[in-house]
Structure 1
């Protein structure tokens, strides 16, 4: 969600802060701000416009120490007085990601001590708390303050009386420490530091760090000096450049063949080592539990079909935000899989920790960020190689998650004697051919643009699929509503007559995923039910289905049916349909309203 960048260096850091903040725009935000130490005080700029507006305000401003922030509103409406940084009595400036659960209690205490509040945010409470505890040492005051906080936070803090010092702390929300040639940095995402820092260290739960231009001090949750592993900062080179594309989402849709190829990365054999399993953890698995949110949960729902069909292991897929709120029955022989693009999704992390507390310690993380909390905490891990995904609506992260989950299904099947050598070769060959199949799916873009023009005039849409393609229909509906703001629902096609058919009229486009699989004949019957009620069909099909365009039926045909991997191919046209509909409607494709890229609050 929100983005943080802080810097203490030997040169003017205002351009660095603003560049870092611009790199974090993809996370979603509704206001932004900057605070620097200058002339013995603190200078602050805030706006409810884009970072580009903040850049205009900051023209001519120079400083060697500062913090900045993009805010996604939780406590308090999107407004300038609620924008970060928050300032306490012109001395403490603070930016914050997360939610402080005991802010009401602390607010009452601070008001009684004479502090006035100018915002509705929980963040201002932290700024006043640190000011109240300050006795000449900001590092010490922050360490005292965070012990009073309940909830999730990543913070960066300045004090007017300590030039050249920035203090950061984290619990539940990510924060990285960066080292450059002439300064140190902190940020909520390593991407923000590309070009400024050459290496980063991921802070652990409860860490507090103090940076200056020439050094840093770090203590852990027990207030003891700590060391964290340094990692070279990946060169993001062209990751944030649009090139010939109009939006990042379009660029990322078209990067999927490469992302899938990179994720497969020369895999020659199906082996538990692909998931870091050197201790036989996967061999004794009796059940699988997949925990995820949003798009990632649909990847898990497809994987259920694969794992149960290939390995004959029962699979449950649970919405992470719901799992830990109910009284579930733990099974220590269950493999618990967390799926997340960022590896920092708060609900998924909390669900995994809850499962671990129940004794389910066999845990696998599948995500796209190597140093994320999920990857650090899980005993097994698989890093997808989608590359940086900037568009809020996930595309290439989803398809690479599916690739990882299919590989897992093959590993589990092989361990149980259900995958012979020939089948292994066949599946690997099909995986290697996926980039070519995805290119063919991308080639349908001109036809989809024509469909999108019709969708711009609609307010509702229905998506249908059967079997392992029903989650793909769900993903298609999610994409359409995320970025075009058209209300869309997905149903298993066989459920039409159990309620949704009442919605079907000539004003309700019905998008159907119709591959040439064993459910095709039943699906064709469902399509006839739609046509009989005057519904207009938009059908994504493939070779051999004999579904042709006709009055009220629009069909786009992919050149081949892709068997078990068909869901990975069929989701691409659905992504393109959502994208081009949103473009035609003039919405902010990469930053849809009210949404954030990395959902780090529960």
Structure 2
């Protein structure tokens, strides 16, 4: 996730901008930049890579009377991580920073290009500043209002202009933005951490709020009506602020999935069907088979993709563990699309299978979270996951975005439209705090015994694998995922009161057969926790999900529950949830 800072009315605004961006480093970024109005001129400094690169360039810039500034750390979603694509983006007399995604940027860009307005970057953000300047024939604030009326999507925007060198314009919709004030000046940030130490209270902007600030005044509007800021106390601990009040980064990331998935589908899931800017439909011409190569959590996402693509697009899909595939001398035919999935883009085994497919002349597609990573550079095409950085070693939101991207890809390849179901599935990831409390209470019953089985059928089998992996990663309790129908082919021999079973019971797929498998385990006295919309009286514990008519909606709600269960069991075990033993976030060796 990108980060935003801004300030006005303080000495050396560049100092706050750099310090604020450092507080946002934990969110992940691949480039950074600041823009400062100095003697009515806008000075823009940008750099690729770490903030130290930006600081070195900033040291070479002389400021005479800097009044205000804006800054940004960028995690690429449109365009490679280059200085040209880094924020702030500029026009002839203005600069802008932006978090989120402008869904209709191509339409706006085409309109402006027809007016002989040139673009230099590959980003969606540049249209904001160019559209603002197109409208800016009189009052800049009126031009800013017209701009935000024209753009669709999610955004947090800060804009400065030489036409009003004593103001910062702002707008918020679907992406966080905070404004704070002290006796010296006014500050902006996209999360609490940069503001701590500068102000004690802040106004957390709501969707649809926009306005401008001067050195000592905050003007906020909602639907053309001025409103008064509602100041709330800021946290006092920066580390706590980074976690958003949650106990662990993993917990925060579970809760973030609702917002992250909305960003994943922005501009892609439309009422007219799925659209991918990154890849043209012609890329898939001549493809009769797909191989998906991945490791760990990404492998489980690939298994879900197999069910979805074969069902929706009628294309045969094989899913391979990358560390096995690379040494197997597999049959690779030219009519096969080779898909690799990786959160980091540096997973060693996955990268090697990608190189193997390239050497065999296959078309290659990467689903990855990090632009300009090794896998992205090697693959023919890439669809970015837009998950932002994950601090927790046990993946949650990256898995969610991988599955969502594969679901959209299955729609894209199959020429089907599940627009409403996709939106409803995202709603299902919103964490119900009462449900979370129930899982906290349930977790105390699952701390002993000789292990867990997670069971499910169809797409819920890969979810069972992932649920088991999450639990074993952070609780250190043995857990396995099984197809529910396979239990009687051996594993049911382990059934006794000390065997814990988490049953993923879908109302929409093979309900009666899965229920029968659960009954077999209950009859052998296993301790069973069922997750379903249909109440099962026979099992020891039951977590109810909402009724829905699509299995993927059930999938995403069950996903959150299994993540929370793993979290709470691990907490009760006294483990370091974010940094489990023996594990690393990115596996860059065999």
- What TM-score, normalized to structure 2? 0.61
Q: Which residue of 1 aligns with 2:128?
A: none
Write the mapping of 1:453-492 to structure 2, written as runs, cut at 5 A: 453-492=444-483
CA distance in 2, matches of 1:23, 1:238: 13
CA distance in 1, matches of 2:51, 2:81: 6
Shift of 1:175: 8.4
Shift of 1:497: 1.1
- Structure 1 pair 357/443, CA: closer, same or farther in 2 (3 Å)? farther
Matched, 1:523 2:524: no
- Structure 1 pair 199/277, CA: closer, same or farther in 2 (3 Å)? closer
Matched, 1:333 2:335: yes
Structure with larger RCO (C-alpha < 8 A, sep 6+): 1
CA distance in 2, matches of 1:438, 1:183: 42
Shift of 1:440: 5.8
Shift of 1:463: 1.0
CA distance in 2, matches of 1:287, 1:594: 37
Shift of 1:388: 1.8
Shift of 1:370: 2.2
Write the mapping of 1:188-267 to structure 2, written as runs, cut at 5 A: 241-267=242-268
| Residues 429-438 or 244-253, more deviating | 429-438
**Residue correspondences, number:** 391
CA distance in 2, matches of 1:492, 1:581: 23
CA distance in 1, matches of 2:536, 2:304: 27
Q: Which residue of 2 aligns with 1:292?
A: 294
Shift of 1:402: 0.8
Shift of 1:266: 3.9
2:390 partner SS: coil
CA distance in 2, matches of 1:358, 1:461: 41
Identify the match of residue 588 of structure 1 among 568, 576, 582: 576
Matched, 1:181 2:55: yes
- Structure 1 pair 527/377, CA: closer, same or farther in 2 (3 Å)? same
Shift of 1:352: 0.7
Counterpart contact for 2:431–2:560, Cα < 8 Å: no
**5+ long unaligned stretches in structure 2:** 1-17, 29-47, 60-70, 83-120, 126-155, 157-188, 194-238
Q: Which residue of 2 aligns with 1:556?
A: 543
Counterpart contact for 1:441–1:570, Cα < 8 Å: no
Q: Which residue of 1 aligns with 2:561?
A: 573
- Structure 1 pair 272/520, CA: closer, same or farther in 2 (3 Å)? closer
Counterpart contact for 2:312–2:411, Cα < 8 Å: yes
- Structure 1 pair 440/591, CA: closer, same or farther in 2 (3 Å)? closer
Counterpart contact for 1:463–1:490, Cα < 8 Å: yes
Q: Which residue of 2 aligns with 1:433?
A: 424
Shift of 1:176: 7.0
Shift of 1:181: 3.4
Write the mapping of 1:6-17 to structure 2, written as runs, cut at 5 A: none
| Residues 452-461 or 273-282, more deviating | 273-282
Shift of 1:562: 5.0
Counterpart contact for 2:255–2:431, Cα < 8 Å: no
Shift of 1:380: 1.8
Write the mapping of 1:494-513 to structure 2, written as runs, cut at 5 A: 494-513=485-504
Describe the superposition over 1:438-472 as per-residue Cα deviations: whole angstroms up to 9, x where unpaired.
22666521221122111122341111111110000
Q: Which residue of 1 aligns with 2:345?
A: 343
1:473 partner SS: helix
Counterpart contact for 2:394–2:470, Cα < 8 Å: yes
Shift of 1:495: 0.8
Counterpart contact for 1:463–1:511, Cα < 8 Å: yes
CA distance in 1, matches of 2:75, 2:411: 36
Counterpart contact for 1:181–1:197, Cα < 8 Å: no
- Structure 1 pair 514/508, CA: closer, same or farther in 2 (3 Å)? same
Shift of 1:473: 0.4
2:448 partner SS: coil
Counterpart contact for 1:179–1:199, Cα < 8 Å: no
CA distance in 2, matches of 1:469, 1:503: 22
- Structure 1 pair 441/285, CA: closer, same or farther in 2 (3 Å)? farther
Q: Which residue of 1 aligns with 2:364?
A: 363
CA distance in 2, matches of 1:287, 1:261: 30
2:370 partner SS: coil
CA distance in 2, matches of 1:348, 1:275: 24
- Structure 1 pair 181/196, CA: closer, same or farther in 2 (3 Å)? farther
| Residues 323-332 or 454-463, more deviating | 454-463
Describe the superposition over 1:484-515 as per-residue Cα deviations: whole angstroms up to 9, x where unpaired.
00000111111111110111110011111001
Q: Which residue of 2 aligns with 1:382?
A: 383
- Structure 1 pair 237/374, CA: closer, same or farther in 2 (3 Å)? farther
Shift of 1:344: 1.4
- Structure 1 pair 590/459, CA: closer, same or farther in 2 (3 Å)? farther
Q: Which residue of 2 aligns with 1:223?
A: none
Shift of 1:283: 3.0
Structure 1 stretches of 4+ with a deviation exceeding 4 A read 19-25, 174-178, 195-203, 229-232, 234-240, 269-273, 440-443
- What TM-score, normalized to structure 1? 0.59
- Structure 1 pair 579/279, CA: closer, same or farther in 2 (3 Å)? closer
| Residues 388-397 or 564-573, more deviating | 564-573
